[in-house]
Amino acid sequence: MSDVDINQRIAALVGQNDVVLFMKGSALFPQCGFSSRAVSILDHLGVTYETVDVLQDQDIRNGIKAYSDWPTVPQLYVKGEFVGGSDIMMEMFESGELKQLVAADA
Amino acid sequence: MAMAAEEIEAMILAAFPDAAVEIRDLAGDGDHYAARVVSPSFAGMNRVRQHQAVYAALKGKMGTDLHALQLETLVPSGDHQ
């Protein structure tokens, strides 16, 4: 699959869902402590979100790093915008910013 | 693969000579660290840009040689973006 195709697939995932978490594993069975932390934050906010398991898709796993210019997973997108990884999610959760972000015109 | 804390600190300082850098080894395995980087050059950048700048300083080692780096970036005055 070409880079262009992968970017289009990622853009579609990000565009079709208000809150998307690219992660290792699933929301029920996260395969990494950072992904687990990201899921816990979203669950705590009570927001509806979509997850993409990068372990199931090598193209997405590599592609998302280039797409976001971000070297690690998890990665959160809200309303088409890249928000950050689990450290930024935690900071924004603690400050209340993340709640505002996902709640705005939801 | 792993990296020494001193190596991480040196790479960050090479890119941000004015930064105060603290590295903590979280697991004692040379592969899970926390870094706190305080630099005036982060002013005017949002958190994503600040973290991207630190990752850029690590020249591709993040996510490869270095599995986990919990990152906290701050502007010295305590300004929040």
ipTM of the complex: 0.83
Query: How distant is the Cα of A15 from the closest Cα of chain B, in angstroms?
Result: 20
Q: What is the tally of structural domains in chain A?
A: 1
Omega prior to B40 cis, within 30 of 0: no
Residue B10 burial (C-beta neighbours within 10 Å; 0-12, 13-18, 19+): exposed
**What is the span of the domain harbouring residue A95?**
3-103
| Residue A105 pLDDT level (bands cut at 50, 70, 90) | low
CATH number where A10 lies: 3.40.30.10
Q: Which residue bears the tokens 């990000």?
A: A14
Arithmetic mean of pLDDT, B33-55: 95
Q: What is the pLDDT of residue B1?
A: 59
Phi then psi dihedrals of residue B75, to 5 deg: -95, 140
Closest to A83 in 3D by CA, of A2, A14, A4: A14
pLDDT above 80: residue A31: yes
pLDDT in tens, A39-63: 999 999 999 999 999 999 999 999 9
B54-79 per-position pLDDT tens digit: 999 999 898 888 888 999 999 997 54
> What CATH number should be reported for the domain whose range is B5-74?
3.30.300.90
Q: What are the tokens at B16?
A: 């941000």
B63: nearest CB among A71, A83, A95: A71
Smallest CA–CA distance, residue A91 to chain B, in Å, is 9
The percent of residues above 90 in pLDDT, for chain A, comes to 92
Predicted model pTM: 0.89
Residue B64 CB burial class (10 angstroms; 0-12, 13-18, ≥19): exposed
Mutation target for A interface from B51, B61, B66, B69: give the one with most A CBs within 10 A.
B51
Full 3-state SS string of A47-65: CCCEEEEHHHCHHHHHHHH
Cβ within 8 Å, pair B48-A84: yes
- Judging contacts by C-beta atoms under 8 Å, the chain B residues touching residue A84 are 47-48, 51
With a cut of 80, say whether residue B2 has pLDDT above it.
no
Query: Using the beta-carbon criterion (under 8 Å), do A71 and B47 form an inter-chain contact?
Result: no
Which residues have CB under 8 Å from A83's CB, separation 6+? Answer: A76, A77, A89, A92, A98, A101, B48
